[in-house]
């Protein structure tokens, strides 16, 4: 569209955040140019120079102005500033619409739980409206190969699985829109749902399936070097550091999957875990042990990273670590057995768990634990999907901190849709019964 400014997006292959950026501009009806830097050193260097040294994709430019990566672009969109830069704010009036749209069912999140709920809800004629949230597609979009999801004997990539589910949900009539829910008001019915861009909806039922976001260490150097060699997504950024020694922090399935993936590019991968025993399933432990024996991965147990050194221009230079035979070394810094040491690595990948995305439910009567996980009728850590608020349901990683598997998230999404359908049917019957009683009393 010629009336819009020129939009350029530097991308790479198998980059879920690149797809999210493109989806965002597609949803706005804005044309853009893409430059794939994979395997093109000259184009990669051009991107790094234009992006002030950042070595990750995507990098978005509007009329030669650096917008930044996916997080930066999304933040501008949530603040309403992206439309202004694109010249479409005026066409939309620049203000939220006065009319409040009512929907039978709203689903927060477009990961596997949200999309499964959307498929079932659409087939039940509940006309679900799905808001993608700030991480469209959820954690599976950051996963290279999903080998344990039933029905795919050769495995399937995370993005492909999500895209297939999205198409399936839309085929049955679900609407999927780019948007981040800011708050839910459950003080009266129908419930009021407000987006970060100011749009407001009301809904008879609501499914929270907004997933969880990657945690960070909170150590010096981490924030400053995020995107300059520090990352929470090996799939997205690993190829940028080809030939470097890389460090992965974590001890679960995700950390081992990241470490295994990085062996495709790294000179060597160091897997740092603060305990002696790993929490990953045996499959991953065995697979990583093979890589250890082959010399591709080195395990550093009972250790923690305490600081990351480097610069935006040069990326990660070194990391400081401490190690203690009993683990949890930061609790034993004064212990004579604590060893402090330094490592030269070119990139650091964090895989240390997630925080549930449930901030928009603060202020409601939905019960959550101290970490922010929704408490449902099934008890802490899983079970059924009904919350203590009639008509509000939870599914996937916002509830389940224990299993956190694609198949269990899909199962909970199914349950949530069925529970919501039962609630909506019951509410409709009660409303009709109440109307009949009023009519009879009027007679």
Catalytic residue chosen out of the listed positions 15, 18, 233, 414: 233
Q: Are 292 and 319 in contact (CB under 8 A)?
A: no
Q: Is 26 a catalytic residue?
A: no
What is the C-alpha separation between 252 and 247, in angstroms, rounded? 15
Q: Are 305 and 207 in contact (CB under 8 A)?
A: no
SS3 376: strand
What is the C-alpha separation between 285 and 279, in angstroms, rounded? 9
Say which residues have a Cβ less than 8 Å from residue 362's Cβ, sequence separation at least 6: none
| CA quadruple 184, 185, 191, 194: dihedral sign | negative
DSSP structural state of residue 189: S
Q: What is the DSSP string of 316-328?
A: EEEEEEEE-TTS-
Catalytic residue chosen out of the listed positions 236, 414, 419, 421: 236
Give strand ranges (E) for 259-366: 268-272, 297-300, 303-311, 315-323, 339-344, 347-350, 354-356
How distant, in Å, are the alpha carbons of 62, 269, 390 from that of 30?
A: 11, 41, 40
What is the C-alpha separation between 321 and 228, in angstroms, rounded? 20
Alpha-helix runs per DSSP H in 187-346 = 234-237, 253-262, 282-293
Burial class (CB in 10 A: 0-12, 13-18, 19+), 305: buried
Q: Is 18 a catalytic residue?
A: no
Residue 42, number of CB atoms within 10 A of its CB: 8
First to last CA, the chain: 61
DSSP structural state of residue 94: S
Catalytic residue chosen out of the listed positions 72, 77, 204, 237: 237
What residues are annotated to the active site?
A: 233, 236-237
């Amino acid at each position: 569209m010629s009336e819009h400014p020129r939009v350029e997006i530097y991308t790479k292959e198998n980059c879920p955040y690149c797809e999210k950026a493109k989806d965002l501009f597609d949803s706005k009806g804005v044309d853009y140019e893409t430059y794939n830097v994979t395997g093109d050193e000259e184009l990669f260097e051009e991107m790094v120079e234009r992006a002030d040294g950042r070595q990750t994709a995507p990098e978005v430019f509007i009329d030669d102005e650096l917008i930044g990566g996916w997080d930066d672009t999304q933040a501008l969109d949530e603040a309403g500033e992206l439309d202004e830069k694109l010249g479409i704010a005026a066409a939309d009036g620049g203000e939220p619409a006065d009319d409040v749209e009512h929907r039978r069912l709203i689903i927060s999140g477009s990961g596997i739980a949200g999309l499964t709920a959307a498929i079932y809800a659409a087939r039940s004629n509940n006309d679900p409206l799905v808001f993608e949230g700030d991480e469209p597609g959820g954690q599976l979009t950051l996963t290279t190969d999903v080998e344990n999801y039933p029905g795919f004997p050769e495995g399937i990539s995370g993005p492909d699985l999500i895209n297939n589910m999205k198409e399936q949900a839309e085929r049955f009539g679900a609407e999927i829109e780019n948007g981040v829910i800011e708050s839910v008001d459950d003080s009266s019915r129908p419930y009021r749902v407000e987006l970060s861009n100011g749009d407001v909806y009301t809904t008879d039922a609501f499914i929270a399936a907004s997933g969880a976001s990657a945690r960070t260490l909170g150590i010096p150097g981490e924030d400053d070097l995020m995107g300059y060699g520090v990352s929470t997504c090996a799939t997205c950024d690993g190829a940028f550091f080809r030939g470097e020694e890389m460090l992965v922090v974590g001890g679960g399935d995700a950390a081992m999957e990241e470490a295994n993936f990085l062996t495709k590019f790294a000179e060597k991968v160091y897997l740092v875990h603060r305990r002696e025993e790993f929490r990953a399933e045996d499959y991953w432990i065995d697979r990583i042990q093979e890589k250890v024996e082959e010399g591709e991965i080195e395990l550093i147990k009972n250790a923690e990273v305490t600081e990351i050194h480097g610069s935006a221009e040069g990326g990660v230079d070194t990391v400081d670590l401490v190690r203690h035979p009993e683990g949890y070394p930061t609790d034993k810094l004064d212990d004579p057995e604590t060893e402090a040491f330094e490592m030269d690595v070119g990139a650091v990948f964090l895989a240390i768990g997630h925080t549930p995305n449930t901030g928009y439910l603060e202020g409601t009567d939905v019960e959550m634990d101290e970490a922010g996980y929704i408490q449902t009728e099934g008890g802490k850590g899983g079970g059924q999907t009904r919350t203590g608020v009639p008509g509000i349901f939870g599914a996937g990683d916002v509830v389940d901190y224990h299993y956190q598997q694609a198949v269990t998230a899909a199962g909970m999404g199914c349950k949530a849709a069925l529970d919501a359908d039962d609630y909506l049917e019951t509410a409709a019957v009660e409303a009709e019964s109440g109307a009949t009683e009023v009519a009879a009393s009027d007679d």
